[in-house]
Structure formats: structure tokens, C-alpha cells
Amino acid sequence: MARPVYLAFIWNQHQPYYQDTVKKEYIMPWVRLHATKDYYQMAAILREHPTVRQTFNLTPSLLAQLEDYRNGATDYYQKAAKPVKELTRAEKRFLLQHYFDIHWDRVIARWPRYNQLLCKQGRSREPEPVEAALEVFTDQDYLDLQVWFNLVWIDPEYRVRDAELAALQQKGENFSEEDKELVLRKQWNIIGQVVPIHRELAKLGQIELITATFYHPIVPLLIDTRSALRASPGLPLPETFSYPEDALEQTVRSINQFRRYFGDWPRGIWPSELAVSPEAVAIFAGLGFTWCVADEDILVRSLGREIYRDGFGHVLNADDLYRPYRLIIGDTEINMVFRDHHLSDRIGFVYHQMPVDHAVDDLIHRFHKVRENVAHLPGPHLITIAMDGENAWEWYDGDKTGFLHRLYRKIARDPLLRTVTVSEFLEEHPPGHKLKCLHTGSWVDHSLTRWIGSHSKNRLWQMLLNARRMLEDVRGTVSTEKLLRAKENLYIAEGSDYTWWVDSMPYYLAAPFEALFRKHLVNAYREVGQAPPSCLDEPTVMPQHGEAAWHEDPLAGPTAMVQSATK
């Protein structure tokens, strides 16, 4: 009888920490909006497929922000959802720039009124000027825009099944202020269901919940920034940052938060950006984690041999990739699974370009090709799909609904494909293969250069190091409470997303993250009564030729989130 192949889906649900901790406001809305479109529904959809088992990483920074929203936190996009009669001209400009922030062809084009508003706006992408639209948009236009933006950021299947939202969707235009309040109220309701749905499915054993280091730092770089040289010899680096105690503290805090939310100890950990090193994994193992996940390219360099694929992307030496390993380095022992980079990327970047049935059939076919390629080898074998659980879906026609339902139905009916949580697979099939070394790198080019090595990224690391040294200098001279508040801001600034954006993305997208990074460090100095250095008042990133500049502080809110042309 043919032997099944096992499938481990690991969905990474993460958002960086968007809060300006002084104002207690969020500069970006993506925790709120992805909660209503993705974080609840990605779990809830499994209720209809009870035999499908999966693993979810809910990052601590995401959970902390969801809790803030449940306690009444607001974001700048919500400020622009005020009653239309009260909108200032600057707030109207903000609406025209930001309330089309979703896929135009896959989402906005589906709804005639929303598409009409986009055309009336001039189909201008941020940060292009929208001054002409200000002169022609009516109060009803702004109100309809407010409703449509918040409505489409609710999962489409949820909208159809909720009678009130379905009625609004059918109405389509001439919305009232009461209609807008209904949509916003529904968003709050969904946000409140995110943690309970995961808790429910975990209790049933259908999903496994794991965690990540609290504010999503690149752990190998926190331990020692010189570790970036292992994958990238000669990379220009700033002065060495080496605080393994910060990596330990952020991981311990993740465990404590997990236990508070879910009443259990997490067995698995998702290294931020799948960035691993022997030292990072030693911390994870020392704190009791039994497994972690890394990228296929890390396995390649740890084994010292390639993963070979044919012209269709099928792995030829499948026995190397599709199994867990027991990593043993000195006193460190931990189980590791390595994601299929190619298949994960097909879900993330390829399948949205195909009809849903063709995309699902292609993925199922690829699963079976793996099964056929390992059929003659001692098993069992595990295919690991590990990827973001939110960013891909707005590129799909109809979001995640058609693809995931069809995929889960086909898997559930196929006796040769069996989904598992990672921990249950490891418990039933302990790794028989061992790794004696681990490459230092991430999912991005098997290196750490996305977060260090460029001029501006290195400047951020130097600022972080200066602030970290300052906190050591004042230890014992300030109260414990002040020192802890200062450290909180520093831990936030250690998050990966700040250096991810700087020197890697367009200026107008990177500038708010860079400004928020500096704001957190300023807060760290002020909490312990120290004068922030002047460099923290100066932007590290500047607009390139032809890019629009931030005229005011990009953290000041909707009014200041309007850009002016460069001189």
C-alpha cells in the first residue's frame, strides 16, 4: 500500500510595533486591518475542514497590539474616519491618498462605486498629488470612500455571511454615517475574536500555536552583529553590537506572554525572518523549545550540499529536504524543520496569477511528486510550507477564500496527503537524521544583509548601540521603573522591521519606520533623564531624485502625513 506524505503548514502572523509610545497612537493600521481580513479568518476557515491540521505563529508584538486595540487604541487611519462634516482639507487629502490602500485590480475593481471613486481620485498612487480630486470630491464621495475602504478590509467570506455587512455591500453607495459606524463596529468585533478562535482550535488539537522573540528582532544580530560576516565576508559593518542578554530577555518575555494568553508552554519558535545562528538556536533550546523552523537555503549550507530541482521545480534529492533534523552542536540539541522555499513562494507569489482550480491542482500535483520521489526511501517524509499568513491574499481573486477552501477539501479527501502540526509529527516520528553545524542566515538570500551592511542600516545600528550603552551607564542611578520603561523602548527599536525598510524600500515607505525607530530611542533617553543625542533629531533616510519629501514629522498624524514635492 502506498505510504502518505505529511504536510506541515506554518503560517507566520506578524506585524511590527506601530505605536508611538508617547502619544499611545498607532501610525499605521495594519494590525487592525489584517486582523479583520486575515488573522481571524485564516483560523476560522479550519472549522469547515476539521481534519486539516496546521501550525500558527502569532508574534508577541502582534498580540500586544491586538490587546491595545481591544482596550480602545486608535490608529491614524481611524482619525480620518471621523464624520465627513468635520473633515479638514488635510484629512480629506489623507483619505484620497490612503483610503485606496488595497489591491486596485483584485479588490477595488470588483466594486463599481469604489472603482468610480478611484477613477475620480485620478488613480494616483501615493505619494503623487491628489489636489485636483479635492476640488471635485463631494461629502458623499468621502463618506462612501470611508465605508468602502473599511469594508473591503474585512474578509470577503465573513462579509457575505454577516447579514448586515452583506446588505451594505449590496447597497454599494450613498452610505450614511450610521453605515460607517456599523462597519467600524464589526471590525472591533472581529478583532476581539482573533485570540479566542486560535485558543479554541488549539484546545481541539487542530492547530498548534508557537511564538517568536517579542519585538521581532534578528536574534543572530542581537547576539553579535559580526555574525553577518559568516554569510557575507567583507560586508561593511558598524561598531559591534553584542547583547545576547537582550535576545534572551525578549525570548523569555515571549514565553511568558504565550502562557498568559494560551495557558501552555510553546513547543516551537519561529525565528524572526527565519534568521538563525548556532548561538540563537542555543538560546531557544536552553529555554525549552523543542523545535524551530528555518529556510531550505539554510539547510543547503548546513549540509554542505545542494538541493537539486528539475526544470519544473521538483526536488530530485527529496530525502534531504523533506524530513526533520536533530541539530546537535556542543550542548545544544533541538529539532529543526526546513521549509520548501519554492512551494512556499508559489503560494505567496505565483498562484494568484492562475485560475484557482489550476493553482490548487498544481500544488496538489507537486505534493504527490514529492511522495513519488521518496516512495522507495525509509520514511515518513514531511513537506513544510512556511510563510506569511496575510500578505499574499489580497493578490488573489476573491482573497484567500477560493484557494484555501479548495486546497483543504482536496487534501482532506486524499488518503495519501496528511496534514499535521509540527509537534505531533515530531512526537510520532522523532528525527533520524542529525545536523552537526548550522549556517547563519535568514530566508533572504541565506544571509543577514537585509538588516545590516548598508550606510543607513549601519547608522541605525550605531544609534541603537549608543542608546544601549547609555542604559548600562545609568544603571543603578535611576529607579528600576524608569530603567524598565527605557529598556522597553529600546527593545522595540531592536525589532527587525526598521532596518528591513531602510535602504531597501522607497523613501516614502521607509521614512515613517525610520522616524519611529528614532522616536523609540529618544523615549529611552528621556525615560532615564538623559538628553537624546542630536543625531536622533535628524532623518537617516532622504528622498532620492524625483521622490516626494515628508514636509513634516511623518509620525504627527494624518495632517502631517501629506508630502510635498522635493525642491
Give me the pLDDT at residue 21, please.
77
Give me the pLDDT at residue 556, please.
63
Give me the pLDDT at residue 331, please.
93
Residues of each domain in the chain carrying CATH 3.20.110.20: 5-67+193-435
C-alpha to C-alpha distance for 109 and 118, rounded to whole angstroms = 9
CB atoms inside a 10 Å sphere around CB 136: 10
**Confidence band, pLDDT 50/70/90 cuts, at residue 559:** very low
**Residue pLDDT, tens place only, 289-321:** 999 999 999 999 999 999 999 999 999 999 999
Nearest to 498 by CA among 471, 469, 463, 531: 463
**Residue pLDDT, tens place only, 502-539:** 999 888 889 989 999 999 999 999 999 999 999 999 99
Q: In this structure, are residues 217 and 229 in contact, taking their beta carbons and an 8 Å threshold?
A: no
Decide if pLDDT at 560 tops 70: no
**Residue pLDDT, tens place only, 263-275:** 999 999 999 999 9
- Radius of gyration of the CA atoms of the chain, in A: 24
Give me the pLDDT at residue 23, please.
76
Report the DSSP pairing between strands 563-564 and 549-550: antiparallel
Bigger pLDDT: 97 vs 421: 421
Nearest to 267 by CA among 423, 56, 136, 472: 423
C-alpha pair distances (Å), 153 with each of 99, 103, 123, 183, 307: 11, 11, 19, 10, 39
**Residue pLDDT, tens place only, 158-169:** 999 999 999 999
**Residue pLDDT, tens place only, 332-362:** 999 999 999 999 999 999 999 999 999 999 9
Give me the pLDDT at residue 562, please.
38
Q: What is the DSSP string of 250-314?
A: HHHHHHHHHHHHHSS---EE--GGG-B-HHHHHHHHHTT--EEEEEHHHHHHHHTS---B-TTS-
Nearest to 60 by CA among 258, 342, 270: 258
**Residue pLDDT, tens place only, 189-206:** 999 999 999 999 999 999
Give me the pLDDT at residue 128, please.
67
- Is the omega angle on the peptide bond into residue 127 within 30 degrees of 0, that is, cis? yes
C-alpha pair distances (Å), 433 with each of 35, 358, 372, 378: 39, 36, 21, 12
Q: In this structure, are residues 228 and 455 in contact, taking their beta carbons and an 8 Å threshold?
A: no
129 φ, ψ (degrees, to nearest 5)? -70, 145
Q: What is the DSSP string of 441-468?
A: B-SSTTSSTTTSSSHHHHHHHHHHHHHH
Q: Indicate the residue type of 299.
A: L
List strand residue ranges (DSSP E) for 61-196, in order.
none
Host H or E run for residue 387 = strand 382-388
Decide if pLDDT at 116 tops 50: yes
**Residue pLDDT, tens place only, 375-405:** 999 989 999 999 999 999 999 999 999 999 9
Give me the pLDDT at residue 171, please.
98
C-alpha to C-alpha distance for 501 and 451, rounded to whole angstroms = 9
C-alpha pair distances (Å), 126 with each of 93, 342, 510: 11, 32, 13
Decide if pLDDT at 121 tops 80: yes
In the chain, the N- to C-terminal Cα span, in Å, equals: 72
**Residue pLDDT, tens place only, 204-250:** 999 999 999 999 999 999 999 999 999 999 999 999 999 999 999 99
C-alpha pair distances (Å), 353 with each of 131, 236, 357: 34, 39, 12
**Confidence band, pLDDT 50/70/90 cuts, at residue 61:** very high
**Residue pLDDT, tens place only, 530-541:** 999 999 999 999
**Residue pLDDT, tens place only, 441-499:** 999 999 999 999 999 999 999 999 999 999 999 999 999 999 999 999 999 999 999 99
Name the percent of the chain lying above pLDDT 70: 96
Q: How many residues in the chain?
A: 567
Give the architecture (CATH level 2) of 5-67+193-435: Alpha-Beta Barrel (3.20)
- Is the omega angle on the peptide bond into residue 324 within 30 degrees of 0, that is, cis? no
Decide if pLDDT at 566 tops 60: no
Sign of CA dihedral 334, 340, 341, 345: negative
Decide if pLDDT at 557 tops 90: no
C-alpha to C-alpha distance for 235 and 451, rounded to whole angstroms = 12
C-alpha pair distances (Å), 266 with each of 16, 231, 423: 21, 30, 10
Give me the pLDDT at residue 561, please.
41
- With a CB cutoff of 8 Å and minimum separation 6, the contacts of 555 are 20, 27, 512, 515, 516, 519
C-alpha pair distances (Å), 414 with each of 1, 42, 378: 14, 22, 21
Go through 439-464 and write b for each residue having 16 or more CB atoms within 10 A of its CB, e for each that does not.
bbbbbbebbbbbbbbbebbbbbbebb
Average pLDDT of every residue of the chain: 94
DSSP state of 165: H
Q: In this structure, are residues 148 and 114 in contact, taking their beta carbons and an 8 Å threshold?
A: yes
DSSP state of 328: E
C-alpha to C-alpha distance for 41 and 39, rounded to whole angstroms = 6
